[in-house]
A and B are shown apart, each in its own frame.
Chain A
Amino acid sequence: MAATAESLERKEKLQGIGCSRKRKEDPRFIQGKGIYVDDVKLPGMVYGALVRSPHAHARIKSINKEKALALPGVITVLTADDLKPLNLHWMPTLGSDVQAVLADEKVGFQLQEVAMVIAEERYIAADGVDLVEVEYEELPAITDPHKSMDPDAPIIREDLVGKDEVGHGKRLHDNHIFTWEAGDKDSTDAVFDKAEVTIKEEILNPRVHPCPIETCGCVASFDKINGHLTVHMTTQNSHLVRTVLAMLSGIPESKIRVITNDIGGGFGNKVPIYPGYVVAIVASIVLGRPVKWIESRIENLSTTGFARDYHGTAELAADKEGHIQALRFNVLADHGAFNAHVSATKWPAGLFSICTGSYDIPTAYVKVDAVFTNKAPGGVAYRCSLRVTEAVYLIERMIDILAQKLNIDKAEIRRRNFIQADQFPYNTSLGWTLDSGNYGPALDKVLKAVDYEGLRKEQAEKRAKGELMGIGISTFTEIVGAGPTKACDILGIGLFDSCEIRVNPTGSAIARMGTQSQGQGHETTYAQIIATELGIPSDEIQVEEGDTDKAPYGAGTWGSRTTPVGAAAVTKAARKIRDKARKIAAHLLEVSEDDLEWDVDQFRVKGVPDQVKTMKEIAMAAYSNVPEGMENGLEAVDYYDPPNFTFPFGAYVCVIDIDPQTGEIKVRRFYALDDCGTRINDMIIEGQIHGGLTEAFAVSMGQLIDFDEEGNLLGNSLMDYFVPTAVETPHWETDYTVTPSPHHPLGAKGVAESPHVGGIPCFSNAVIDALSHLGVTHVDMPHTAARIWKKLHELGVAK
């Protein structure tokens, strides 16, 4: 039946899928009315502050609490010895290792947690921290992962001595964690041995930090009377946290409630469980009073979830025309003092094997070795799926280097290697099945939009005058939406997600999910999906997440899994309701279900236009007049286990100019085309692209968590750590194509991480392109003015 003007009008009023509906969250954010964890104040609440180690590697000889305890207002000071009787001085990590909650005889990184002072006031707690006396015996520190496995390297983890495995296979050294491999080593080596062209480059994804504006923190509140533990926490995955807390504490999971209100950014930093949370919870259990613990900026940057620190050696084998025949990537991964790397159980190196990218590479082999160093633990996925930025960075850099070596245009070499549209679903040589893609047209659209030929001409003219201009291209493929439970679990829990929808008698609805918005606008977009599926206006749909007592179980929001997994659960729950509504409508209209057709917000009898029942009428009937044998009510729950990941892709072009005398880089233009399949809300997608590109700009141009040889962190405040403001941030141009996912109920993929993953290599490719005529094939990030100037000075360009 053709849509009538009248039904189109009804459709528009719903503000469903495809509408750039304004964000429902924004009125409260703009007015400063969001509720963040530090806004939570409970009666009788006390405050925790951590005593931290000034040394990166040291033995603790003694801890003296006396002076701190003597300060009026200090209630208690907890150390590892106090947690031991509860067996909570160590905790499991997401990387199958254990981590000291409070340092147990030894510290392994600077600012490691040593004790917590609990006081009546936050200021007194800080004064108390200064009064705790800790005596250390310093030990030599390792900050360079290449030295971790030296024969005479100091042993970082004495607690693991004698264990030949930490969850992921054999260890080769006391500072070694695991070796992980994918692909076929022998056939890859064979291709390399006889290839016409091979290239090799050392490429670092340096240690960075996601640096959400809101730092981590919690308010733990244990009720001694009924044995309930409530934890207000800024976490991306409250349900997983609840399960871990039950495992750790022995409190029945039914008596633990994790509440997450608004979150001021997560970017992977708010996935793990940190020592501060555990100590605050123990303190609350011991004292029977609510305990608040909130990190400072320095604590956040120095100790919680860093990202990357992947030291890659990348190789490609190709023919003379630039067709890639084999890929070989070896990585040394620096995991810090504990393996708190966030990974699904079977994926110790995350989804790094997506590194064949958008290209038809028949043979490949990758190997990742992880080691301990005296740096903060972690390895979170900073605005990407686990280890995907690292993977995409390597392939997108390497294809540029191959082009340079063979003197082939950097757009052309990509065309020659793209997986073609008719090859999908495409099985990569490292074991993934890419669901859908159409890479060539996306690249062509972008090249045309920026006048690529014109830019190359201008670049040639500038070079003749000694000026430095660079054009970067990135044609990336992402992997998001973890994930099929047969492949992915965390601590044994499958990575499905969930949604529960209840339609009220008067036709409005409330929906709850196992995901968790950190600013992405879930309240807005989830409502749009339900609006389209059920014909209920978006404004009448209440979306709630982040209270484990209310929402169904889910794995939370990270790795762009909300749309691929959560939104699929939403769609399927809504469709269950619509199926029931159809039965009720058939009953009310006294026809068979097959005689009905769905029209925006109502069922109508085919061929009888005035015989209709609106969703509103059906909702009321669900509570008053249902067919015989049917239960009352109109609600559904869905737990969605995706059959596969989704594989969004994009084509980006960046144009930069370099000031040869200062090394400063100016981004002149950045054009980003993204294909995330079906688009739910263009405005929100664009906002996510802007944010992701800005973080990509930050990583490539300035972010670095760096250490001196003693393991002192250099630059742990926003004075030094680069978070771009509106002044530095380039102007973004966005575009899209639509290639739906064949296996997702809406055809949607994920989008918010693509710009980060695809943007970083695009910036680097532009910078190195600007220097390529001088023989430069690679320089590591971050491309700060000082580092670029050094290179230019070496090359004799800068004075």
Chain B
Amino acid sequence: MIPPSFQYHAPGSVDDAVALLSQYGDEAKLLAGGHSLLPMMKLRFAEPEHLVDINNIESLKGIREENGEIVIGAMTTESALISSALLQEKCPLLPEAAGLIGDPQVRNRGTIGGDIAHGDPANDHPALMMALDAIFTLVGPNGSRQVAANDFYLGTFYTALEADEILTEIRFSPQSPNTGASYHKLKRKTGDFATAAAAAVIEMSGDTCQRARITLTNLGPTALRVKDAEAVLVGQVITDDLIDQAAQKAMDICDPVQDLRGDVEYKTHMAGEMTRRAIKTAIERAKG
């Protein structure tokens, strides 16, 4: 449980951080909350020679509304998401789901940017970001670019982020009227990652579904968007039978690995059950 030695850097700006990343390339790692990176270093699964701590970069922190969009700095902690009045009003999904991440220690240090950038399919933010159609701002030596959450995840621990890029901001639209959102996460105990989890964002018009986003956590090599389940619901008057069909679609695309949380059969069924519950809650909320 002791990492090998490394060099520590603490730049004060995004530019300085990018410069360090460019200089050290693959040998450098950004340090955000450290709650994914440090455990891997202690187990010597990750052995970066340079740690670039970005906790001093104030511009990366905070939650604001800008041009009708919600903008969250990558270095904003889970605790800050949970206590944000703006999010509670305009995107209640995020504070609710952030409350299910880890434990208080993890939430006090862990950042939304770290959770997104880590590329761990067990992390909760990837599926949430995909359900919210979020856009990520990545800054590198050649300036900044925007990547949609739904295009960001390429494989386990493998994202669109280049080694010399920093995720600086996350943007998405506030929850629209007649929309409900919900995240159902099955876990063994507090502080655990999901055995299976599903996010649903659903817009209703009366009993008819207008728009749906359904995504899954820890049920495949990356977070998964279940377009087939969305297609089952959109344009339809929602019945229990339709919800079961949507849940079945989630089961069909998920591809979990067996671990001590359960085997493939269990996780697959839980993908269905969490999807069913997330859709039901989201619809209830949409109907107010």
Q: Do A and B bind each other?
A: yes
- Which A positions have Cβ atoms within 8 angstroms of B? 122-123, 126-127, 130, 296-298, 661-664, 702, 706, 714-715, 719-720, 722, 724-725, 727-728, 784-786, 789-790, 793, 798-799
**Chain A contacts of B192 at CB under 8 A?**
719
Q: Specify the chain A residue showing the minimal Cβ separation from B103.
A: A725
**Chain A contacts of B190 at CB under 8 A?**
725, 727-728
The reply to whether A785 and B273 form a contact with Cβ atoms under 8 Å apart is no
Say which residue of A123, A130, A297, A724 sits within 8 Å of B44 (CB atoms).
A130
**Complex: A123 Cα to B186 Cα, angstroms:** 38
8 contacts between A and B (CB under 8 A): A130-B44, A298-B1, A725-B190, A727-B189, A785-B186, A785-B262, A786-B266, A798-B269
A123 in contact with B5 given A662-B186, A662-B273, A799-B272 (CB within 8 Å): yes
**Chain A contacts of B186 at CB under 8 A?**
662, 664, 785
**Complex: A663 Cα to B261 Cα, angstroms:** 12
**Chain A contacts of B263 at CB under 8 A?**
786
- Which B positions have Cβ atoms within 8 angstroms of A? 1-2, 4-5, 44, 103, 186, 188-192, 195, 260-263, 265-266, 269-270, 272-273
The reply to whether B189 and A127 form a contact with Cβ atoms under 8 Å apart is no
A725 in contact with B189 given A123-B2, A298-B1 (CB within 8 Å): yes
With A786-B266, A790-B266 known, 17 other A-B pairs at CB within 8 A are A123-B2, A662-B186, A662-B270, A662-B273, A664-B186, A714-B260, A719-B192, A720-B260, A722-B189, A724-B189, A725-B103, A725-B190, A725-B191, A727-B189, A728-B189, A789-B266, A799-B272
Say which residue of B1, B4, B269 sits within 8 Å of A297 (CB atoms).
B1
The reply to whether A789 and B269 form a contact with Cβ atoms under 8 Å apart is yes
**Chain A contacts of B272 at CB under 8 A?**
799
* Shortest CB distance B108–A (Å): 16
* Shortest CB distance B252–A (Å): 15
A715 in contact with B260 given A725-B189, A785-B186 (CB within 8 Å): yes
A786 in contact with B262 given A662-B186, A722-B188 (CB within 8 Å): yes
**Complex: A715 Cα to B260 Cα, angstroms:** 7
**Chain A contacts of B262 at CB under 8 A?**
785-786, 789
* Shortest CB distance A663–B (Å): 8
**Complex: A789 Cα to B270 Cα, angstroms:** 10
Q: Which 10 A-B pairs have the closest CB atoms?
A: A786-B262, A126-B2, A727-B190, A296-B1, A715-B260, A786-B266, A720-B260, A661-B273, A728-B189, A725-B190
**Complex: A646 Cα to B73 Cα, angstroms:** 63
**Complex: A269 Cα to B273 Cα, angstroms:** 40
* Shortest CB distance A475–B (Å): 30
The reply to whether B261 and A786 form a contact with Cβ atoms under 8 Å apart is yes
* Shortest CB distance A217–B (Å): 13
* Shortest CB distance A411–B (Å): 32
* Shortest CB distance B118–A (Å): 15
A793 in contact with B269 given A127-B4, A725-B103, A785-B195 (CB within 8 Å): yes
The reply to whether B188 and A784 form a contact with Cβ atoms under 8 Å apart is yes
**Complex: A784 Cα to B190 Cα, angstroms:** 14
* Shortest CB distance B256–A (Å): 12
* Shortest CB distance B186–A (Å): 6
**Complex: A786 Cα to B261 Cα, angstroms:** 7
**Chain A contacts of B4 at CB under 8 A?**
127, 130
**Complex: A664 Cα to B262 Cα, angstroms:** 12
The reply to whether B2 and A799 form a contact with Cβ atoms under 8 Å apart is no
**Complex: A25 Cα to B192 Cα, angstroms:** 32
Say which residue of A126, A296, A298, A702 sits within 8 Å of B188 (CB atoms).
A702
Q: Specify the chain A residue showing the minimal Cβ separation from B270.
A: A662
* Shortest CB distance A696–B (Å): 16
**Chain B contacts of A786 at CB under 8 A?**
195, 261-263, 266
* Shortest CB distance A714–B (Å): 6
Q: Specify the chain A residue showing the minimal Cβ separation from B193.
A: A719
**Chain A contacts of B5 at CB under 8 A?**
123, 127
**Complex: A799 Cα to B195 Cα, angstroms:** 17
**Complex: A481 Cα to B215 Cα, angstroms:** 57
A122 in contact with B2 given A662-B270, A798-B269, A799-B273 (CB within 8 Å): yes
Q: Specify the chain A residue showing the minimal Cβ separation from B274.
A: A662
**Complex: A695 Cα to B70 Cα, angstroms:** 45
* Shortest CB distance A729–B (Å): 10
| Residue with the highest number of chain B CB atoms closer than 10 Å, among A296, A297, A786, A793 | A786
Q: Specify the chain B residue showing the minimal Cβ separation from A122.
A: B2
**Complex: A661 Cα to B262 Cα, angstroms:** 14
Q: Specify the chain B residue showing the minimal Cβ separation from A799.
A: B269
**Complex: A719 Cα to B266 Cα, angstroms:** 20
* Shortest CB distance A787–B (Å): 9
* Shortest CB distance B21–A (Å): 26
**Chain A contacts of B269 at CB under 8 A?**
789, 793, 798-799
* Shortest CB distance B265–A (Å): 8
**Chain B contacts of A126 at CB under 8 A?**
2
**Chain A contacts of B1 at CB under 8 A?**
296-298
**Complex: A355 Cα to B94 Cα, angstroms:** 53
**Complex: A724 Cα to B103 Cα, angstroms:** 13
**Chain B contacts of A297 at CB under 8 A?**
1
**Chain B contacts of A662 at CB under 8 A?**
186, 270, 273
**Complex: A786 Cα to B5 Cα, angstroms:** 40
* Shortest CB distance B277–A (Å): 9
* Shortest CB distance B278–A (Å): 13
**Complex: A296 Cα to B44 Cα, angstroms:** 14
Q: Specify the chain B residue showing the minimal Cβ separation from A714.
A: B260
Q: Specify the chain A residue showing the minimal Cβ separation from B196.
A: A662
**Chain A contacts of B44 at CB under 8 A?**
130
Q: Specify the chain B residue showing the minimal Cβ separation from A719.
A: B192
**Complex: A663 Cα to B270 Cα, angstroms:** 10
**Chain B contacts of A798 at CB under 8 A?**
269
**Chain B contacts of A719 at CB under 8 A?**
192
**Chain A contacts of B188 at CB under 8 A?**
702, 722, 784-785
**Complex: A798 Cα to B270 Cα, angstroms:** 11
**Complex: A131 Cα to B12 Cα, angstroms:** 37
* Shortest CB distance B123–A (Å): 14
**Complex: A297 Cα to B188 Cα, angstroms:** 20
**Complex: A661 Cα to B273 Cα, angstroms:** 7
**Chain B contacts of A725 at CB under 8 A?**
103, 189-191
| Residue with the highest number of chain A CB atoms closer than 10 Å, among B44, B192, B266 | B266
**Complex: A793 Cα to B265 Cα, angstroms:** 10
**Complex: A298 Cα to B273 Cα, angstroms:** 34
**Complex: A606 Cα to B115 Cα, angstroms:** 79
**Chain B contacts of A728 at CB under 8 A?**
189-190
**Chain B contacts of A296 at CB under 8 A?**
1
Q: Specify the chain B residue showing the minimal Cβ separation from A297.
A: B1
* Shortest CB distance B43–A (Å): 8
**Chain B contacts of A661 at CB under 8 A?**
273
**Chain B contacts of A664 at CB under 8 A?**
186
**Complex: A65 Cα to B190 Cα, angstroms:** 43
**Complex: A127 Cα to B188 Cα, angstroms:** 35
Q: Specify the chain A residue showing the minimal Cβ separation from B2.
A: A126
**Complex: A126 Cα to B2 Cα, angstroms:** 7
**Complex: A604 Cα to B103 Cα, angstroms:** 61
**Complex: A724 Cα to B189 Cα, angstroms:** 7
**Complex: A714 Cα to B259 Cα, angstroms:** 9
**Complex: A428 Cα to B162 Cα, angstroms:** 73
* Shortest CB distance A481–B (Å): 35
**Complex: A479 Cα to B2 Cα, angstroms:** 43
* Shortest CB distance A71–B (Å): 11
**Complex: A662 Cα to B187 Cα, angstroms:** 10
**Complex: A229 Cα to B223 Cα, angstroms:** 57
**Chain A contacts of B191 at CB under 8 A?**
725
* Shortest CB distance A786–B (Å): 4
**Chain B contacts of A706 at CB under 8 A?**
260
**Complex: A664 Cα to B270 Cα, angstroms:** 11
* Shortest CB distance A282–B (Å): 23
**Complex: A799 Cα to B44 Cα, angstroms:** 41
**Complex: A786 Cα to B103 Cα, angstroms:** 22
**Chain A contacts of B265 at CB under 8 A?**
790, 793
**Complex: A728 Cα to B187 Cα, angstroms:** 11
**Complex: A495 Cα to B191 Cα, angstroms:** 42
